[in-house]
């Protein structure tokens, strides 16, 4: 009987296969369109080939997409509060958003970069910068959660960040806005010569990735726009693009666009590292937050650090040089070999490419055109490798496919242009819809890019999707770059502003992705690891509820003896140890978000009851067939009542 069934099913599927083959031919405009759809089609239940971590720009978060499907999997809260996940709302993660300015619930998240080992991305962590209140965050890719944030002192508009060196020795954070260092009350018009720009080198501890500021290089008061590390032969160097070498402080669009050339600053960080390791540099008073989330306690702690090591370039001769680069270069991109440094002069008609070998030569032979605040300026001609002539308007960023090609975005002419390294000839161009900013090839910032796709992240979408009022969706576009010509495959909407992205093969991350947190390893001070451990403890007007969840009930689910004016902490432990069984909890009138608690985790929210009554709480994540029954009551008595404190599950109180 079973065999008959099986053959019947087999017959049916063959029939279905034939009919579905026929359909597209008759209904689609051409075979080509069908072909494009196939390239991004990931069948239900199948997995994408690549992860793409796309920053949310002014949303402050980091989104996780699959490529080539363009499907959104998760929004990882980084710099902004997220009520859905209780990030920045629960007691455990509030310290993550602490800064020297107090609790800052938002930032502008720009440049995700994946950690590397031996010049190849290793899929362990993603680093990302907060621009506004300068911070660098680390997202742990075993849990897809933000586990560390360090504030950057002496910085403002933390934009030329957060790029990692080829063994993740450092993640680098450069200032966009120069400021008085240290901060002080002074006239803005005295900017020139008095404001400084800091380039911060944050060491990354190899085992757990803990971040610590190793040193800050105090540079002239330019705007440090973007950066990339040297690799291969140029490993040990870091390159920063600058604009506003005019050192203007007002009407910047005009006043910072006067010089024919600005600079790419080349920093020999190995030399400075050696200098500080031998006791060089000056320890300067500072005040910045270092916030660390501990997976064992499921809690973050915030520590204020009080000093930072600063280095003046003039103290370390031969460590910093300036490479003249036409017209306010924006992107500063290094090719996989480490030889070419592309300066995307955003107001220039041409693309300027510098040579690392020529730079070393020029330094050796002292081919300098002068200096800026004591930093040698190398002769433009002596460092220039080549020029891509008139490739488009408004070049911003360049990535590489590892096959000798470079891909540059042009904001004004709204296109991606493919050109050849070494011959500087343009190979292909494809329009973007519209005004593309960054682009991303998985592994693009490494010695080994995976040159199959490029994602273009657009600044404007206009009519590209169904309209949603004045504010329309943000969007990215996927191109196939496996052939000689690029092919547009897909438009897909993104969160916030899709500023920049980092991508890597899914197999690098997938096997390491955690399914649950082990309850046995839970070291949360208020965890209840079994229903026997649940209790309610009063200490003055502070009440701690040690509560558990398991399908499909809370323990306890009846609580009496709470009073108006109490501060009631719900410490809720999810006893589940099964994949994808989170529980949520929310309390009527609590001035905070829900909790969303993963299996084995403990989270806490604060409730300050203001009215007498019997108030319900319930599970907010549809957990099981009896999810609707997953609820409880808290009796709140008047402040001067003497209702005794009691709690229970499955029996009536008294």
Give the residues lining the site for other proteins (CB under 8 A): 516, 550-551, 576-579, 625-626
Between 30 and 45, whose beta carbon lies closer to other proteins?
A: 45
* Per-residue burial over 280-316, b = 16 or more CB atoms within 10 Å of its CB, e = otherwise: ebeeeebebbbbbbebebbbbebeebeebbbbebebb
| Torsion sign over Cα 364, 370, 375, 377 | negative
Between 96 and 630, whose beta carbon lies closer to other proteins?
A: 630
Between 205 and 629, whose beta carbon lies closer to other proteins?
A: 629
In angstroms, give the least distance from the CB of 144 to other proteins.
Answer: 19
Backbone φ and ψ for 449, nearest 5 degrees, come out as: -75, 155
Pairing state between β 567-574 and 542-550? parallel
Between 533 and 578, whose beta carbon lies closer to other proteins?
A: 578
Task: Report the C-alpha gap between 466 and 511 in whole angstroms.
Answer: 38
In angstroms, give the least distance from the CB of 534 to other proteins.
Answer: 18
Task: Report the C-alpha gap between 644 and 123 in whole angstroms.
Answer: 53
Between 46 and 190, whose beta carbon lies closer to other proteins?
A: 46
Name the H helices within 375-419: 380-383
Task: Cis check for the bond before 434: say yes or no (omega within 30 of 0).
Answer: yes
Between 361 and 648, whose beta carbon lies closer to other proteins?
A: 648
In angstroms, give the least distance from the CB of 627 to other proteins.
Answer: 12
* Per-residue burial over 575-607, b = 16 or more CB atoms within 10 Å of its CB, e = otherwise: bbeeeebbbbbbbeebebbbbbbbbbbbbbbbb
DSSP letter for 57, please: B
Q: 3-state DSSP call for residue 5?
A: helix
Between 103 and 622, whose beta carbon lies closer to other proteins?
A: 622
| 4-10 own/partner pairs: CB under 8 Å, 24+ apart | none
In angstroms, give the least distance from the CB of 335 to other proteins.
Answer: 42
Query: If you write DSSP's letter for every residue of 272-324 in order, what string do you get?
Result: HHHHHHTT-SEEEEEEEEEEEEETTTTEEEEEEEEEEEEE-GGGSTTSEEEEE
Task: Report the C-alpha gap between 167 and 229 in whole angstroms.
Answer: 11
Between 270 and 551, whose beta carbon lies closer to other proteins?
A: 551
* Per-residue burial over 78-114, b = 16 or more CB atoms within 10 Å of its CB, e = otherwise: bbbbbeebbbbbbbbbbbbbbbeeeebebbbbbbbbb
Between 32 and 626, whose beta carbon lies closer to other proteins?
A: 626
In angstroms, give the least distance from the CB of 620 to other proteins.
Answer: 20
In the block, residue with structure tokens 């593309």: 436
Between 253 and 520, whose beta carbon lies closer to other proteins?
A: 520
Between 328 and 574, whose beta carbon lies closer to other proteins?
A: 574
The region, left, alpha or beta by phi > 0 then psi within -120 to 50, assigned to residue 247 is: left
In angstroms, give the least distance from the CB of 44 to other proteins.
Answer: 13
In angstroms, give the least distance from the CB of 585 to other proteins.
Answer: 19
- Let me know if 609 is exposed, middle or buried by CB neighbors in 10 A (0-12, 13-18, 19+): buried
In angstroms, give the least distance from the CB of 651 to other proteins.
Answer: 13
- Let me know if 31 is exposed, middle or buried by CB neighbors in 10 A (0-12, 13-18, 19+): exposed
In angstroms, give the least distance from the CB of 279 to other proteins.
Answer: 50
Percent helix / strand / coil, the chain, rounded to 5: 15, 45, 40
In angstroms, give the least distance from the CB of 531 to other proteins.
Answer: 13
In angstroms, give the least distance from the CB of 63 to other proteins.
Answer: 25
Q: 3-state DSSP call for residue 532?
A: helix
Q: 3-state DSSP call for residue 579?
A: coil
Residues 20, 27 contacting (CB under 8 angstroms): no
In angstroms, give the least distance from the CB of 551 to other proteins.
Answer: 6
DSSP letter for 512, please: G
Between 83 and 626, whose beta carbon lies closer to other proteins?
A: 626
In angstroms, give the least distance from the CB of 529 to other proteins.
Answer: 13
Between 266 and 550, whose beta carbon lies closer to other proteins?
A: 550
In angstroms, give the least distance from the CB of 293 to other proteins.
Answer: 24
| 518-523 own/partner pairs: CB under 8 Å, 24+ apart | 518/577, 518/600, 519/573, 519/575, 519/577, 519/599, 519/600, 521/296, 521/600, 522/296, 522/298, 522/573, 522/600, 522/601, 522/602, 523/294, 523/296, 523/297
Between 301 and 577, whose beta carbon lies closer to other proteins?
A: 577
In angstroms, give the least distance from the CB of 590 to other proteins.
Answer: 28
- Let me know if 188 is exposed, middle or buried by CB neighbors in 10 A (0-12, 13-18, 19+): exposed
Between 516 and 653, whose beta carbon lies closer to other proteins?
A: 516
In angstroms, give the least distance from the CB of 579 to other proteins.
Answer: 8
DSSP letter for 596, please: E
Between 38 and 629, whose beta carbon lies closer to other proteins?
A: 629
């Amino acid at each position: 009987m079973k065999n008959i069934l099986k053959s019947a099913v087999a017959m049916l599927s063959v029939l279905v296969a034939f009919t579905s083959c026929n359909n597209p031919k008759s209904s689609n405009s051409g075979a080509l369109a069908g072909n494009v759809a196939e390239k991004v089609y990931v069948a239900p239940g199948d997995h994408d080939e690549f992860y793409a971590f796309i920053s949310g720009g002014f949303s402050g978060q980091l989104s996780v997409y699959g490529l080539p499907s363009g499907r959104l999997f998760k929004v990882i809260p980084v710099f902004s509060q997220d009520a859905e996940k209780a990030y920045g709302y629960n007691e455990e993660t509030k310290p993550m958003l602490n800064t020297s300015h107090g609790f800052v619930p938002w930032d502008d998240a720009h440049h995700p970069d994946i950690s590397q080992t031996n010049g190849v991305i290793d899929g362990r962590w993603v680093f990302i910068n907060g621009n506004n209140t300068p911070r660098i965050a680390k997202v742990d890719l075993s849990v897809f959660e933000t586990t560390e944030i360090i504030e950057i002192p002496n910085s403002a508009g933390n934009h030329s960040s957060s790029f990692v060196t080829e063994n993740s020795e450092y993640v680098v954070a450069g200032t966009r806005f120069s400021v008085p260092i240290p901060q002080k009350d002074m006239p803005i018009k005295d900017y020139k010569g008095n404001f400084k720009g800091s380039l911060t080198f944050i060491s990354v501890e190899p085992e757990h990735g803990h971040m610590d500021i190793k040193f800050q290089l105090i540079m002239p008061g330019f705007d440090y726009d973007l950066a990339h590390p040297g690799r291969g032969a140029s490993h040990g160097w870091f390159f920063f693009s600058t604009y506003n070498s005019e050192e203007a402080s007002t009407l910047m669009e005009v006043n910072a666009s006067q010089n024919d050339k600005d600079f790419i600053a080349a920093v020999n960080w190995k030399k400075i590292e050696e200098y500080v390791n031998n006791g060089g540099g000056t320890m300067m008073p500072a005040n910045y937050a270092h916030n660390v989330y501990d997976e064992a306690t499921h809690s973050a702690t915030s520590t204020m650090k009080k000093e930072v090591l600063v280095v003046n370039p003039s103290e370390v001769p031969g460590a910093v040089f300036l490479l003249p680069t036409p017209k306010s270069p924006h992107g500063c991109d290094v090719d996989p070999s480490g030889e070419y440094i592309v300066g995307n002069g955003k107001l220039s008609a041409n693309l300027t490419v510098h040579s690392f070998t020529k730079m070393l030569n020029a330094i050796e032979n002292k081919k300098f055109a002068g200096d800026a605040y004591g930093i040698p300026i190398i002769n433009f001609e002596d460092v220039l490798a080549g020029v891509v002539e008139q490739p488009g308007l408004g070049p911003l960023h360049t990535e590489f496919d590892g096959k000798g090609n470079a891909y540059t975005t042009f904001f004004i002419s709204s296109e991606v242009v493919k050109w050849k390294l070494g011959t500087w000839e343009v190979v292909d161009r494809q329009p973007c819809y519209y005004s593309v900013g960054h682009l991303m090839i998985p592994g693009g910032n490494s010695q080994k890019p995976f040159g199959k796709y490029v994602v273009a992240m657009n600044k404007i979408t206009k009519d590209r999707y169904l309209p949603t009022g004045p504010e329309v969706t943000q969007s990215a576009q996927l191109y196939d770059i496996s052939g000689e010509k690029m092919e547009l495959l897909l438009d897909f909407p993104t969160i916030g502003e899709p500023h920049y992205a980092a991508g890597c093969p899914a197999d690098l991350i997938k096997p390491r992705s955690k399914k649950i947190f082990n309850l046995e390893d839970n070291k949360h001070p208020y965890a209840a690891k079994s229903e026997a451990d649940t209790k309610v403890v009063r200490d003055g007007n502070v009440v701690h509820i040690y509560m558990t969840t398991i399908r499909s009930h809370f323990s306890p689910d009846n609580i009496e003896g709470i009073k108006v004016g109490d501060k009631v902490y719900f410490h809720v432990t999810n006893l589940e140890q099964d994949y994808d069984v989170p529980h949520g909890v929310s309390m009527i009138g609590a001035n905070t978000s829900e909790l969303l608690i993963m299996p084995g985790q403990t989270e806490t929210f604060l409730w300050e009851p203001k009215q007498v009554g019997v108030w319900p709480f319930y599970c907010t994540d549809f957990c099981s067939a009896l999810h609707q029954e997953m609820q409880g009551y808290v009796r709140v008595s008047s402040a001067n009542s003497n209702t005794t404190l009691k709690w229970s599950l499955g029996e009536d109180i008294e």
